[in-house]
Amino acid sequence: MELELRGLGHDFGSLTVLDNVSFAVRKSEIVSVIGPSGCGKSTLLAIAGGLIAPSRGSAVSLGVPPAASLNPFTFVFQDAGLLPWRTVAGNVALALEGRPLSRKAQAEIIEEVLDRTGLRGFAKAYPKQLSGGMKQRVGIARALAARPAFLLMDEPLSAVDAQTRELLMEEFLALWLRDRVSILYVTHNLDEAVRLSDRIVVLSRRPGRVREIVDVAIPQSERRRPDVASELSAMQNDIWNLLRSEARNADRELLSLERADV
Protein backbone atom coordinates (compact mmCIF):
# COMPACT_ATOMS: atom_id res chain seq x y z
CA MET A 1 0.00 0.00 0.00
CA GLU A 2 1.17 3.53 -0.77
CA LEU A 3 0.41 6.87 0.86
CA GLU A 4 0.84 10.32 -0.62
CA LEU A 5 0.68 13.55 1.37
CA ARG A 6 -0.02 16.55 -0.85
CA GLY A 7 0.48 20.09 0.38
CA LEU A 8 -0.70 19.30 3.90
CA GLY A 9 -1.38 22.20 6.19
CA HIS A 10 -3.13 22.21 9.53
CA ASP A 11 -4.26 24.84 12.02
CA PHE A 12 -5.45 24.61 15.60
CA GLY A 13 -7.39 27.85 15.84
CA SER A 14 -4.95 30.64 14.96
CA LEU A 15 -1.91 28.36 15.43
CA THR A 16 -0.49 26.82 12.25
CA VAL A 17 1.32 23.56 13.06
CA LEU A 18 1.91 22.18 9.55
CA ASP A 19 2.46 24.04 6.30
CA ASN A 20 2.68 22.66 2.74
CA VAL A 21 4.02 19.22 3.68
CA SER A 22 4.37 16.86 0.71
CA PHE A 23 5.99 13.44 0.46
CA ALA A 24 5.06 9.84 -0.30
CA VAL A 25 5.48 6.48 1.38
CA ARG A 26 5.87 3.80 -1.24
CA LYS A 27 4.77 0.18 -0.93
CA SER A 28 6.87 -1.80 1.60
CA GLU A 29 8.86 1.29 2.55
CA ILE A 30 9.72 2.64 6.01
CA VAL A 31 9.71 6.44 6.09
CA SER A 32 10.63 8.21 9.32
CA VAL A 33 9.60 11.74 10.26
CA ILE A 34 11.90 13.66 12.58
CA GLY A 35 11.92 17.28 13.69
CA PRO A 36 11.94 19.67 16.65
CA SER A 37 9.36 19.27 19.42
CA GLY A 38 6.05 20.90 18.53
CA CYS A 39 6.61 20.84 14.75
CA GLY A 40 3.46 18.79 14.08
CA LYS A 41 4.82 15.25 13.74
CA SER A 42 1.99 13.56 15.66
CA THR A 43 -0.59 15.76 13.91
CA LEU A 44 0.88 14.66 10.59
CA LEU A 45 0.48 11.01 11.60
CA ALA A 46 -3.14 11.57 12.67
CA ILE A 47 -3.92 13.18 9.31
CA ALA A 48 -2.17 10.38 7.43
CA GLY A 49 -4.34 7.82 9.23
CA GLY A 50 -7.57 9.71 8.66
CA LEU A 51 -8.14 10.55 12.34
CA ILE A 52 -8.37 14.26 11.60
CA ALA A 53 -8.96 16.17 8.38
CA PRO A 54 -6.24 18.58 7.26
CA SER A 55 -6.99 22.29 7.03
CA ARG A 56 -5.32 22.28 3.62
CA GLY A 57 -4.06 19.65 1.21
CA SER A 58 -4.80 15.93 1.27
CA ALA A 59 -3.58 12.51 2.37
CA VAL A 60 -4.35 9.88 -0.24
CA SER A 61 -3.88 6.11 -0.02
CA LEU A 62 -4.15 4.13 -3.25
CA GLY A 63 -6.04 7.07 -4.73
CA VAL A 64 -8.60 7.10 -1.88
CA PRO A 65 -8.46 9.50 1.11
CA PRO A 66 -7.62 7.47 4.27
CA ALA A 67 -10.88 8.34 6.05
CA ALA A 68 -12.80 6.78 3.15
CA SER A 69 -10.71 3.59 3.11
CA LEU A 70 -11.75 0.39 4.85
CA ASN A 71 -9.45 0.67 7.88
CA PRO A 72 -6.13 -0.01 6.11
CA PHE A 73 -4.16 1.75 8.87
CA THR A 74 -3.11 0.56 12.30
CA PHE A 75 -1.48 2.84 14.90
CA VAL A 76 1.26 1.99 17.39
CA PHE A 77 1.83 4.66 20.05
CA GLN A 78 4.47 5.42 22.67
CA ASP A 79 2.08 4.06 25.31
CA ALA A 80 0.90 0.59 24.30
CA GLY A 81 -2.48 1.37 25.88
CA LEU A 82 -3.06 -2.13 27.23
CA LEU A 83 -6.24 -2.90 29.17
CA PRO A 84 -5.09 -3.95 32.66
CA TRP A 85 -7.96 -6.41 33.16
CA ARG A 86 -7.11 -8.32 29.99
CA THR A 87 -4.33 -10.84 29.48
CA VAL A 88 -1.70 -10.43 26.77
CA ALA A 89 -3.77 -12.64 24.45
CA GLY A 90 -6.90 -10.69 25.36
CA ASN A 91 -5.26 -7.38 24.53
CA VAL A 92 -4.07 -8.70 21.16
CA ALA A 93 -7.61 -9.98 20.51
CA LEU A 94 -8.89 -6.39 20.63
CA ALA A 95 -7.63 -5.95 17.06
CA LEU A 96 -9.96 -8.71 15.88
CA GLU A 97 -13.15 -7.82 17.71
CA GLY A 98 -16.05 -7.00 15.44
CA ARG A 99 -14.45 -8.74 12.47
CA PRO A 100 -16.21 -11.60 10.65
CA LEU A 101 -13.85 -14.29 11.94
CA SER A 102 -14.61 -17.53 13.74
CA ARG A 103 -13.21 -18.05 17.22
CA LYS A 104 -10.85 -20.64 15.77
CA ALA A 105 -9.55 -18.21 13.14
CA GLN A 106 -9.06 -15.50 15.77
CA ALA A 107 -7.20 -17.92 18.05
CA GLU A 108 -4.89 -18.93 15.19
CA ILE A 109 -4.06 -15.30 14.38
CA ILE A 110 -3.39 -14.48 18.04
CA GLU A 111 -1.15 -17.53 18.44
CA GLU A 112 0.77 -16.64 15.29
CA VAL A 113 1.50 -13.01 16.23
CA LEU A 114 2.42 -13.96 19.80
CA ASP A 115 4.88 -16.46 18.35
CA ARG A 116 6.39 -13.90 16.00
CA THR A 117 6.80 -11.27 18.71
CA GLY A 118 8.26 -13.66 21.29
CA LEU A 119 5.20 -13.48 23.54
CA ARG A 120 3.80 -17.00 23.31
CA GLY A 121 4.90 -17.85 26.84
CA PHE A 122 3.18 -14.71 28.16
CA ALA A 123 -0.27 -15.21 26.61
CA LYS A 124 -1.95 -15.51 30.02
CA ALA A 125 0.05 -12.76 31.73
CA TYR A 126 -1.48 -9.40 32.68
CA PRO A 127 0.06 -6.00 31.83
CA LYS A 128 1.13 -5.36 35.44
CA GLN A 129 3.37 -8.43 35.18
CA LEU A 130 5.23 -7.11 32.11
CA SER A 131 8.21 -4.82 31.65
CA GLY A 132 7.93 -1.68 29.53
CA GLY A 133 9.56 -3.42 26.58
CA MET A 134 7.21 -6.40 26.83
CA LYS A 135 4.19 -4.09 26.93
CA GLN A 136 5.37 -2.40 23.76
CA ARG A 137 5.79 -5.81 22.15
CA VAL A 138 2.14 -6.55 22.98
CA GLY A 139 1.17 -3.27 21.30
CA ILE A 140 3.08 -4.27 18.17
CA ALA A 141 1.55 -7.78 18.26
CA ARG A 142 -1.93 -6.25 18.48
CA ALA A 143 -1.15 -4.05 15.47
CA LEU A 144 0.08 -7.03 13.45
CA ALA A 145 -3.02 -9.05 14.35
CA ALA A 146 -5.11 -6.48 12.50
CA ARG A 147 -3.30 -7.46 9.28
CA PRO A 148 -2.75 -3.80 8.36
CA ALA A 149 -1.73 -2.61 4.93
CA PHE A 150 0.01 0.31 6.62
CA LEU A 151 1.50 0.93 10.08
CA LEU A 152 1.56 4.41 11.61
CA MET A 153 4.00 4.49 14.53
CA ASP A 154 4.29 7.43 16.94
CA GLU A 155 7.48 7.27 19.06
CA PRO A 156 6.93 3.55 19.78
CA LEU A 157 10.33 3.03 21.45
CA SER A 158 10.73 6.31 23.33
CA ALA A 159 9.48 5.00 26.68
CA VAL A 160 11.94 2.08 26.98
CA ASP A 161 15.56 1.98 28.11
CA ALA A 162 18.48 1.92 25.65
CA GLN A 163 19.09 -1.83 25.84
CA THR A 164 15.41 -2.65 25.33
CA ARG A 165 15.23 -0.16 22.47
CA GLU A 166 18.12 -1.94 20.74
CA LEU A 167 16.45 -5.34 21.11
CA LEU A 168 13.07 -4.03 19.94
CA MET A 169 14.64 -2.39 16.89
CA GLU A 170 16.17 -5.72 15.88
CA GLU A 171 12.88 -7.56 16.42
CA PHE A 172 10.93 -4.85 14.62
CA LEU A 173 13.19 -5.11 11.57
CA ALA A 174 12.88 -8.90 11.53
CA LEU A 175 9.07 -8.56 11.52
CA TRP A 176 9.18 -5.95 8.78
CA LEU A 177 11.49 -8.06 6.60
CA ARG A 178 8.90 -10.83 6.76
CA ASP A 179 5.74 -8.79 6.10
CA ARG A 180 7.09 -5.72 4.25
CA VAL A 181 4.25 -3.56 5.54
CA SER A 182 4.48 0.12 4.58
CA ILE A 183 5.35 2.21 7.65
CA LEU A 184 5.28 5.90 8.55
CA TYR A 185 7.40 6.22 11.69
CA VAL A 186 7.59 9.33 13.89
CA THR A 187 10.61 9.57 16.19
CA HIS A 188 12.90 11.98 18.06
CA ASN A 189 15.74 9.45 17.94
CA LEU A 190 18.24 9.88 15.11
CA ASP A 191 19.70 6.41 15.57
CA GLU A 192 16.25 4.85 15.18
CA ALA A 193 15.55 6.90 12.07
CA VAL A 194 18.82 5.98 10.35
CA ARG A 195 18.75 2.33 11.41
CA LEU A 196 15.15 1.64 10.43
CA SER A 197 14.30 3.89 7.50
CA ASP A 198 14.47 3.86 3.74
CA ARG A 199 13.98 7.63 3.80
CA ILE A 200 13.91 10.28 6.52
CA VAL A 201 11.70 13.37 6.31
CA VAL A 202 13.24 16.21 8.32
CA LEU A 203 10.68 18.82 9.41
CA SER A 204 11.40 22.42 10.35
CA ARG A 205 10.32 24.06 13.58
CA ARG A 206 6.64 25.00 13.82
CA PRO A 207 4.91 25.36 11.50
CA GLY A 208 6.39 22.09 10.29
CA ARG A 209 7.62 22.20 6.72
CA VAL A 210 9.74 19.66 4.86
CA ARG A 211 13.29 20.85 5.38
CA GLU A 212 14.90 17.88 3.64
CA ILE A 213 14.21 14.28 2.62
CA VAL A 214 17.23 12.05 3.24
CA ASP A 215 17.63 8.77 1.34
CA VAL A 216 19.21 5.97 3.38
CA ALA A 217 20.60 4.05 0.42
CA ILE A 218 22.38 1.34 2.43
CA PRO A 219 20.38 -1.94 2.40
CA GLN A 220 19.00 -3.05 5.76
CA SER A 221 21.10 -6.21 5.65
CA GLU A 222 24.31 -4.16 5.54
CA ARG A 223 23.66 -1.47 8.15
CA ARG A 224 25.25 -3.44 10.99
CA ARG A 225 28.52 -3.88 9.11
CA PRO A 226 31.50 -2.06 10.68
CA ASP A 227 32.63 -0.68 7.31
CA VAL A 228 29.40 1.30 6.81
CA ALA A 229 29.26 2.67 10.37
CA SER A 230 31.08 5.86 9.38
CA GLU A 231 28.62 6.50 6.54
CA LEU A 232 25.63 6.12 8.86
CA SER A 233 27.33 8.30 11.47
CA ALA A 234 27.94 11.03 8.88
CA MET A 235 24.27 10.85 7.88
CA GLN A 236 23.19 11.24 11.50
CA ASN A 237 25.53 14.20 11.88
CA ASP A 238 24.11 15.93 8.79
CA ILE A 239 20.54 15.52 10.07
CA TRP A 240 21.56 16.69 13.54
CA ASN A 241 23.06 19.85 12.02
CA LEU A 242 19.72 20.54 10.30
CA LEU A 243 17.81 20.05 13.55
CA ARG A 244 20.28 22.18 15.51
CA SER A 245 19.91 24.95 12.94
CA GLU A 246 16.13 24.83 13.36
CA ALA A 247 16.45 24.99 17.15
CA ARG A 248 18.81 27.98 16.98
CA ASN A 249 16.50 29.83 14.61
CA ALA A 250 13.60 29.18 16.97
CA ASP A 251 15.65 30.53 19.89
CA ARG A 252 16.48 33.70 17.91
CA GLU A 253 12.80 34.25 17.10
CA LEU A 254 11.86 33.80 20.76
CA LEU A 255 14.57 36.25 21.83
CA SER A 256 13.32 38.80 19.28
CA LEU A 257 9.78 38.46 20.61
CA GLU A 258 10.98 38.89 24.19
CA ARG A 259 12.92 42.03 23.26
CA ALA A 260 9.89 43.42 21.44
CA ASP A 261 7.87 43.02 24.65
CA VAL A 262 10.39 44.96 26.76
The pLDDT value recorded for residue 257 is 38
Q: pTM of this prediction?
A: 0.84
Question: Which range among 75-79, 84-88, 190-194, 245-249 has the greatest average pLDDT?
Answer: 84-88
Mean pLDDT of 128-141: 89
**Structure confidence at residue 254 as a pLDDT band (50, 70, 90):** very low
Where would I find the beta strands (DSSP E) of the chain? 3-12, 15-25, 30-34, 56-61, 73-77, 150-154, 182-186, 199-203, 210-215
**Structure confidence at residue 91 as a pLDDT band (50, 70, 90):** very high
The pLDDT value recorded for residue 15 is 94
The pLDDT value recorded for residue 64 is 59
110 and 89 Cβ atoms separated by less than 8 Å:
yes
Mean pLDDT of 231-253: 81
**Structure confidence at residue 63 as a pLDDT band (50, 70, 90):** low
Whether the pLDDT of residue 214 is over 90: the answer is yes
Predicted confidence (pLDDT) per residue in 4-56, tens digit: 999 999 999 999 999 999 999 998 899 999 998 889 999 999 999 889 999 99
Q: Rounded distance, CA 40 to CA 206, Å?
A: 7
Q: Rounded distance, CA 209 to CA 36, Å?
A: 11
Whether the pLDDT of residue 247 is over 80: the answer is no
74 and 150 Cβ atoms separated by less than 8 Å:
yes
Amino acid at 115: D
The pLDDT value recorded for residue 259 is 41
The pLDDT value recorded for residue 171 is 80
Range 3-72+148-224: architecture per CATH: 3-Layer(aba) Sandwich (3.40)
- Please, what is the Cα angle at 17 between 13 and 23, to 5 degrees? 135
Q: Rounded distance, CA 206 to CA 148, Å?
A: 31
The pLDDT value recorded for residue 16 is 95
Whether the pLDDT of residue 157 is over 70: the answer is yes
77-81, 228-232, 251-255: least confident range: 251-255
Using DSSP, state whether 23 is helix, strand or coil. Answer: strand
Q: Rounded distance, CA 171 to CA 119, Å?
A: 12
Mean pLDDT of 153-164: 83
The pLDDT value recorded for residue 129 is 94
Give the residue among 77, 206, 81, 92 at the shortest CA–CA distance from 153: 77
Using DSSP, state whether 19 is helix, strand or coil. Answer: strand
Whether the pLDDT of residue 198 is over 50: the answer is yes
Between 119 and 100, residue with greater pLDDT: 119
Q: What's the chain's length in residues?
A: 262
Between 134 and 210, residue with greater pLDDT: 210
Between 172 and 153, residue with greater pLDDT: 153
Whether the pLDDT of residue 79 is over 90: the answer is no
23 and 5 Cβ atoms separated by less than 8 Å:
yes
For the chain, the domains span 3-72+148-224, 82-146
The pLDDT value recorded for residue 177 is 82
